[in-house]
Amino acid sequence: MNCPKCGAVCEDGAKFCPVCGEALAPSAEQQKKPVSYCPKCGQPHEGNPPFCPNCGASLSVQNFTDAAKNAGQSFVNQAQEFGQAVSNGNINQYFPQSQPGTVPSRSIALYIILTIVTCGIFGLYWFVCLVNDLNTAAGTPNDTNGVVVLLLNIVTCGIYGLFWAYKAGDKVALIKQRRGVPVSGNDGILYLVLQLFGLGLINYCLIQNEINQVAGTQL
């Protein structure tokens, strides 16, 4: 292609003339194939594929919308089921008790809902259970129990919670080792950063997910 200002020969796809610096209009072929970038990995791609050819991330607005709707509907369904169970007086399944040497599986979605609707009060109960279950799953049942950790966190205005979040990374690593999962990095750093930014609820979800992986098995 030639520069419209000075007539110099420019490479196909060039945005500016290398001789005079004039902006070059894209060719008709380039206009037909707009280039976009993946929001996850940054890889450029032509056209409008539904998924990134490099990392597989969804590139379709509809895909994001559908995923959000499905997640929202799942939360609504679990909330309705819990409400029905409360009215029937059958809620034991939502608050499982661990057997000696085992940890129960807890519904992360439901516990998030209950924490939100109770303005964080249910989150205190979840935290106590999380500490105790993590101790059991990591093979350290004699470590500080959930009630004491909660009280220390309150008394120190959250400072002890930062320490606990960091040490939780070590216990999660022990759980992964028991499952035969390779351990790379220190999850405690992630938990500490999230706790510092007031995102403790995300820590609950991440740690609970690891505990659920070994729920019901003899530890």
Hey, where are the domains in the chain?
A: 110-212
- Tell me what pLDDT residue 59 has: 63
Q: Report yes or no: 46 and 32 within 8 Å, Cβ to Cβ.
A: no
Range name among 13-22, 68-77, 86-95, 136-145 with the lowest pLDDT average: 86-95
The full length of the chain comes to 219
| Closest to 161 measured CA to CA, from 133, 183, 192, 184 | 192
How are beta strands 35-37 and 44-46 bridged, if at all?
Answer: antiparallel
Give percent above pLDDT 90 in the chain: 35
How many other C-beta atoms lie within 10 A of the C-beta of residue 158?
Answer: 13
Q: Would you put residue 89 in left (φ > 0), alpha (ψ -120 to 50) or beta?
A: left
Distance CA 21, CA 32 (A): 25
- Over the stretch 100-135, which tens digit does the pLDDT of each residue have? 678 888 889 889 988 998 999 999 999 999 999 999
Distance CA 207, CA 198 (A): 16
Check pLDDT > 90 for residue 168. Answer: yes
Distance CA 132, CA 149 (A): 10
Structure tokens at 7: 């007539």
Q: Taking all residues of the chain, what is their mean pLDDT, rounded to a whole number?
A: 79
Q: Report yes or no: 190 and 116 within 8 Å, Cβ to Cβ.
A: no
Q: pLDDT higher for 30 or 206?
A: 206
Distance CA 127, CA 150 (A): 8
Q: What are phi and psi of 59, to 5 degrees?
A: -110, 0
Distance CA 86, CA 140 (A): 34
